[in-house]
Structure 1
Amino acid sequence: MRKQRGRASVVFENPPLIMAAASTVGKKEGDGPLGAFFDRVELDPMLGKKTWEEAESELQSRTAGLVIEKSGLSKEEIRYSFAGDLLAQLIATSFGNINLEIPMFGLYGACSTMGEGLGLGAMCVEGGFADHVLVGASSHFASAEKQFRFPLEYGNQRPYSATWTVTGCGAVIVSSGDCRGKEAPLAKITAVTTGKIVDMDFHDSMNMGAAMAMAALDTILQNFRDLGVDETHYDKIITGDLGTVGRRLLLDYLMKAGYRIESRYMDCGIEMFSPEEQDTHAGGSGCGCSAAVLCGFVLPKIRNGEWKRVLFLPTGALLSTVSFNEGKSVPGIAHGVVLETPDFL
């Protein structure tokens, strides 16, 4: 079977399996509607460290350790790690993964990083280059605010279009279809649609949902074309963190393209917080947002067959403080991963 499909998709002949997942979030996220679904809720935002950046590294380290423990594997059995964060030069990932001593690919896809990691990890495993890989992504509210906006001490006001960077991390073990552990797998990865950079010449860094919405639109339509399907092929189509603003744009433009997905659509950033009880404006964002929601909330529903086929679509805004201060736009990207209930369950 030819694995390449259309312009940007890959369909796996021997779908890799997600054998274990772990999620860790901060107190605000734990107080939200999904709090009971996460493995760990850290009450100390510093995680016992001296700086916000060290706290995020610890967040990655603890979550990676937990998913390895849940998988029943040793560190030595995991051939590669695919991981990333929002910080410059991926310092949360590099310092957070030192003690794992696992060969690592550091990834940056902004808030789409979990999708990028799942795609690359699945291709690596299905291609026979590894039996087991670790995929993870993290973000931290305070470290992101410090880098991209203003330090918390500044106390700046945020417009209603702004999202709240999630303090959280999600990690999974992706294994070959021939490697079945003691526990039944959570899901199989049947296809990947890699997104391209979409630049709408958008310049508002406090409205990233709008900046990323067209990238999500592009990847969803590419997935439909490449696989020859429509929205009814999926029980759920789940974006990463478009928030309330980006959600409306995506649904409107998909409707213009002839697709109505509202009844099967979900956004991790909207689900993470309660708009009535938590002041997060447009919702949640950050690498850790979609990663934690995937690992804590989505994968168990796929495993038990409540959602048999899901298009998981983390979205990212590709800006930096340098590019934005030099007057550059905020391009977006979205990576699609098709997750299904394993046939043998």
Structure 2
Amino acid sequence: MTVRNGDTVIFGTPPVIHTWAAAGGKKEAEGPLADAFDLLFPDTTCGSSKWEQAENILQQKCVERCLKKANLDPDQIDLTFAGDLQAQCTASNYTMRVLGSPYAGLYGACSTMAEGLSLAACFAAAGYGQQVLAFTSSHFCAAERQFRTPLDYGGKRPPTAQWTATAAGACLLSPEGQGVTVHSVTFGRVQDYDVHDINNMGAAMMPAAVSTLMHHFDDTGTVPADYDAVFTGDLGEVGSGLLYRQMRAEGYDLSNHLDCGCLLYDVGNQHVQAGGSGAGCSAAVLCTFVLPRLADGRWKRVLFLSTGALMSQTTYLQGESIPGIAHAVELRAQEG
């Protein structure tokens, strides 16, 4: 029987991620995970004349590839949970305009993949749908224009800044079947430690990651060593270092921690400053790195957590601090 313990939903019959896909752009094609992508575009325009439309194309192609793997048509999807970084989630809205299946739009900033995956798992586990889709994306140029400054401005990026991924990831879930199982999900609480630096998202999001991890471990009676790996979604090198030190101060050893923002790119050679970020960052790493290793049995149990900074350019310019959120998903290889 599915139970709620604290902030965590623990599934009696775990739903299954049976199909997934990832798409990326030029920077991702030059990174260490390039060979694992289902689709890579040779440039960030994706054949469009507008950055925002390019992200929409990136999403559509990713979702099409995911549905093709499952041999499903869009009208066979019972519900889609999706969102992105564009104002009012317009990239996802326009993708769903084409797909036409039932749709629940989300905004969790860079935490959207874990949020969507968590909600899709709950929906499937409850028996409300046989095919539930979760996807998200981000685009470097569209995000820079919206949240910081247009690229034409030529502003210098400090070492703490991160590179917004031009990437998308999509997952299809069902109540049962073959694939990677979702055993529990932990919904996060907003944390604000008074960080104001728009070029240091790792520091802004780290407290939310600590909060969700501690709630998850307490709710499930587990410790980090119970997992093959504990993933965070795009804290980057700065945030990851802060996370490790803070968790150690709380009595947890996170020596098996990996960060999606540090995996998507070659941080030392690709000029991405502190690493990758964006809603598409953790989504792409989930679909190119995490799920394949669970599917083939290299890993048995993983905790996947995406983090998001819940700010806008307006709130930043008004002097507001940057609150963060993080959601966690426990994934396991299917027994047998």
In structure 2, C-alpha distance between the alignment counterparts of 1:295 and 1:322, rounded to whole Å: 33
In structure 1, C-alpha distance between the alignment counterparts of 2:272 and 2:44, rounded to whole Å: 17
CA contact (8 A) 2:2 2:13 kept: no
| 1:3 match | 3
Matches within 5 A, 1:207-218: 207-218=200-211
Please state if 1:228 is matched with 2:204.
no
| 1:299 match | 291
In structure 2, C-alpha distance between the alignment counterparts of 1:44 and 1:228, rounded to whole Å: 46
| 2:305 match | 313
In structure 2, C-alpha distance between the alignment counterparts of 1:328 and 1:289, rounded to whole Å: 25
| 1:274 match | 266
Q: Which moved more, 1:270-279 or 1:241-250?
A: 270-279
In structure 2, C-alpha distance between the alignment counterparts of 1:152 and 1:72, rounded to whole Å: 40
In structure 2, C-alpha distance between the alignment counterparts of 1:279 and 1:310, rounded to whole Å: 29
CA contact (8 A) 1:84 1:106 kept: yes
Please state if 1:283 is matched with 2:271.
no
Superposed displacement of residue 45, structure 1: 1.2
Q: Deviation digits for residues 230-272 of structure 1, max 9, x if unmatched?
A: 111111100000001000110001111111112x110000011
Q: Which moved more, 1:164-173 or 1:87-96?
A: 87-96
| 1:173 match | 172
In structure 2, C-alpha distance between the alignment counterparts of 1:175 and 1:46, rounded to whole Å: 34
CA contact (8 A) 1:240 1:268 kept: yes
| 2:244 match | 251
In structure 1, C-alpha distance between the alignment counterparts of 2:168 and 2:224, rounded to whole Å: 29
* SS at structure 2 position matched to 1:190: strand
Tell me the C-alpha RMSD between the 2 structures: 0.9
| 2:14 match | 15
* SS at structure 2 position matched to 1:18: strand
Q: Deviation digits for residues 17-74 of structure 1, max 9, x if unmatched?
A: 0010000001111111111111111003111112100000111111111100011222
Please state if 1:194 is matched with 2:192.
no
In structure 1, C-alpha distance between the alignment counterparts of 2:63 and 2:95, rounded to whole Å: 9
* SS at structure 2 position matched to 1:198: coil
| 1:204 match | 197
**Count of matched residue positions in the alignment of Structure 1 and Structure 2:** 336
| 1:116 match | 115
CA contact (8 A) 2:9 2:185 kept: yes
* SS at structure 1 position matched to 2:110: coil
In structure 2, C-alpha distance between the alignment counterparts of 1:290 and 1:2, rounded to whole Å: 27
| 2:329 match | 337
* SS at structure 2 position matched to 1:76: helix
In structure 2, C-alpha distance between the alignment counterparts of 1:72 and 1:147, rounded to whole Å: 36
In structure 2, C-alpha distance between the alignment counterparts of 1:96 and 1:126, rounded to whole Å: 26
| 1:90 match | 89
* SS at structure 2 position matched to 1:314: strand
* SS at structure 1 position matched to 2:48: coil
Q: Deviation digits for residues 136-172 of structure 1, max 9, x if unmatched?
A: 0100000000100111111110110000000000001
Structure 2 length normalisation: TM-score? 0.98
In structure 2, C-alpha distance between the alignment counterparts of 1:334 and 1:108, rounded to whole Å: 12
In structure 1, C-alpha distance between the alignment counterparts of 2:28 and 2:61, rounded to whole Å: 17
In structure 2, C-alpha distance between the alignment counterparts of 1:119 and 1:96, rounded to whole Å: 21
What stretches of structure 1 of length at least 5 have no aligned partner? none
Superposed displacement of residue 275, structure 1: 2.3
Name the % identity: 45
1:92 partner letter? A
In structure 2, C-alpha distance between the alignment counterparts of 1:96 and 1:125, rounded to whole Å: 22
CA contact (8 A) 1:60 1:97 kept: no
Instruction: Say which of 231, 234, 251 aligns to 1:238.
Output: 231
Superposed displacement of residue 2, structure 1: 5.1
* SS at structure 2 position matched to 1:189: strand
CA contact (8 A) 1:67 1:173 kept: yes
Superposed displacement of residue 173, structure 1: 0.3
Matches within 5 A, 1:8-87: 8-87=7-86
CA contact (8 A) 2:74 2:99 kept: yes
